[in-house]
Every structure is written in structure tokens, then in C-alpha cells.
Amino acid sequence: MGHTSIDFAAPLALHVSTCARFAAVVHQRGSIGVVVDLSTGAVTMRLDRGSYHTEHCDFSIAFFRDAERTLLVHATAWNRLDLSDPATGARLSARERPPRGE
């Protein structure tokens, strides 16, 4: 991961889960962000989508409910979204890379 400090002078976006337990603060046209558990104040995730042309689009991120569970879909690269558990930070969308040349 690259730089991980939130610059509060930069344009930020705030996303709050519908259950009101989690909030994400991201640099709107930047690379990084954090997820905070509002019940404890703990940072549960550090987000980084890389730096490839971030000035051209907002940071893709959204909380949603899956039955009784709150999950997070978020950009992890210029062309990739991943699914994570905001309570633990565990990535739920692990992918295998195919061997080169295939």
C-alpha cells in the first residue's frame, strides 16, 4: 500500500452503512480511505485503490446488507472491485491469478 494518511484538506467522501455501525472516509478522487467501526471507534480497514488515473473518477465504495450481515464493496485497483467484511477487514472475494500465457 502507498500513503495511508487521510488528508482532511482534500475533497473527501463519507459513506455510512444502513445499520449505522460502520463509516468509510475516502479521498473522493484519490487512492486511500479508512473504515471505522462507529461502535468502538476502531479503524477496521485501510483502503487503497492504487494511483492509476484516480483524478478521473470517484472512489468506488458502498456498504450493503446480505441478510443480517453488513458487507462492503470497494475499489482495490483501477479495474477491480472487491468484497470485504467491514467488521474484520477480511477480503471475501479472493481470486486466483491464471498462469501467464494462458
**Rounded Cα gap, residues 90 and 93, in angstroms:** 9
Decide if 25 contacts 44 (C-beta within 8 A): no
Q: Write the DSSP string, 25-80.
A: EEETTSSEEEEEETTTTEEEEEEE--STTGGGSPPPEEEEEETTEEEEEEEEETTE
pLDDT digits (tens, 9 = 90+) for 28-67: 888 999 999 999 999 999 999 988 888 889 999 999 999 9
> Can you give the pLDDT at residue 32?
92
Alpha-carbon span 99 to 102, nearest angstrom: 6
Return the pLDDT at 1. Answer: 40
